[in-house]
C-alpha cells in the first residue's frame, strides 16, 4: 500500500507540474498545438523508457491500451470544450473528481476490500480536489456562456479520464511501459487532428515551446508512475490519489506566480494532506 501511495502522489505531482506548465504555454499559443507539442515529446520519452524497460505486449494489452488512448483523447477534447464554454473553477474539480471516482467505484464494486481509514482518506481526497479548485464568483473570471453544456462536457471529460485509468489497470505488468506508447499514439492522433483543424499549425509557437516541452516531460514521468501505481493497487486508492493534481497546480500558482491562496483553498490543501495520511495508514 505504501508504494502505491508514493507512486500515486508522484503522479499527482508530475501531472500538476505538467498542467501548470501547459497553462503557461497556453497563454502564449492556442492550447491545441501546445498539447500536440507536449504530447509529442512525452510520447518520445515514453517510447525510450519502454525500450529500456522491455516487456511484451499481448493482444489484450494492446486492446486495453488503445481503449485507454481513446478515453484519454475523448477526455482531453471534452475538457477543452468545457473550458471554452464555462468556468475553470467548476470544470476542473468536476473533471478531476470523476476521473478518480470512476475507477475507485468500479474497484470497490468488484469486491476489493479496503480498510475504513483508507476509505475515509479516499473520500477526503475527492472533497479536497473540489475544495481546492473553488474560486469565488467575484474573481473576475469568465462566467458560463452555456453552463449546462460546460457541465455535461466536464462530466464527459471526467468519465474519459477515469476510463483511461481503469483501462490501464487491466494491462499486464509483463507488457512493461508499452501500453503507454500505444495509448499515446492514439491520443496524439486526437490532439494533432484538433490542432490542425482549429489553428492550422501543429507545433506550438517558439515562445510557447519551452513550457510546452517541460509539460511533455513531466507528463511522461506522470504516466510511468501512474501505470505502476494502478498495477500495484488497490485501484481505488491509486486512482483517487493520482487525481490530486489540482492541489499541486494551486500550490505552484501560489509559489511561482504569486497567486493568493484563499481560505477555502488552504482548507483543501490541508484536507489533501490528511487524506494522504489516512490512506497510507489504512
Q: Could you read off the pLDDT of 36-45 as tens digits, one per residue?
A: 888 889 999 9
Q: Give the per-residue pLDDT at 147.
A: 54
Q: Stretch 261-280: mean pLDDT, rounded? A: 79
Residues 6 or more apart from 13 whose CB is under 8 A from it?
Answer: 245, 248
Confidence bin at 8 (pLDDT 50/70/90): very high
Give the position of cell 497563454. Answer: 27
Highest mean pLDDT among 35-49, 147-161, 242-256, 268-282: 35-49
Range scoring the smallest mean pLDDT among 70-74, 104-108, 131-135 = 131-135
Tens-place pLDDT, residues 58-88: 999 999 999 999 998 888 778 766 766 666 6
In this prediction the pTM is 0.83
The residue ranking higher by pLDDT, 206 or 196, is 206
Average pLDDT, the chain: 83
Q: Taking the domains of the chain in order of start, what are their residue ranges? A: 2-281
Amino acid at each position: 500500500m505504501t508504494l502505491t501511495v508514493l507512486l500515486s502522489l508522484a503522479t499527482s505531482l508530475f501531472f500538476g507540474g505538467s498542467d501548470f506548465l501547459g497553462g503557461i504555454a497556453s497563454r502564449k499559443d492556442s492550447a491545441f498545438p501546445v498539447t500536440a507539442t507536449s504530447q509529442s515529446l512525452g510520447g518520445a520519452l515514453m517510447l525510450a523508457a519502454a525500450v529500456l524497460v522491455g516487456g511484451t505486449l499481448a493482444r489484450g494489452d494492446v486492446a486495453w491500451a488503445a481503449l485507454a488512448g481513446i478515453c484519454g483523447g475523448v477526455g482531453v477534447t471534452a475538457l477543452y470544450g468545457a473550458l471554452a464554454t464555462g468556468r475553470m473553477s467548476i470544470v476542473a474539480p468536476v473533471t478531476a473528481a470523476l476521473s478518480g471516482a470512476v475507477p475507485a467505484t468500479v474497484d470497490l464494486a468488484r469486491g476489493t476490500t479496503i480498510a475504513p481509514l483508507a476509505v475515509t482518506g479516499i473520500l477526503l481526497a475527492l472533497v479536497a480536489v473540489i475544495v481546492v479548485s473553488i474560486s469565488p464568483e467575484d474573481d473576475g473570471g469568465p462566467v458560463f456562456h452555456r453552463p449546462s453544456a460546460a457541465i455535461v462536457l466536464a462530466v464527459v471529460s471526467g468519465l474519459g479520464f477515469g476510463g483511461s485509468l481503469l483501462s490501464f489497470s487491466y494491462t499486464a505488468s509483463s507488457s512493461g511501459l508499452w501500453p503507454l506508447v500505444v495509448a499515446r499514439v492514439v491520443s496524439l492522433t486526437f490532439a494533432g487532428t484538433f490542432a490542425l483543424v482549429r489553428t492550422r499549425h501543429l507545433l506550438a509557437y517558439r515562445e510557447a515551446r519551452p513550457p510546452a516541452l517541460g509539460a511533455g516531460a513531466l507528463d511522461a514521468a506522470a504516466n510511468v508512475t501512474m501505470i505502476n501505481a494502478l498495477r500495484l493497487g488497490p485501484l481505488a486508492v491509486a486512482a483517487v490519489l493520482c487525481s490530486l493534481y489540482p492541489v499541486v497546480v494551486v500550490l505552484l500558482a501560489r509559489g511561482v506566480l504569486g497567486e493568493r491562496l484563499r481560505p477555502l483553498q488552504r482548507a483543501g490543501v490541508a484536507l489533501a494532506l490528511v487524506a494522504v495520511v489516512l490512506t497510507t495508514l489504512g
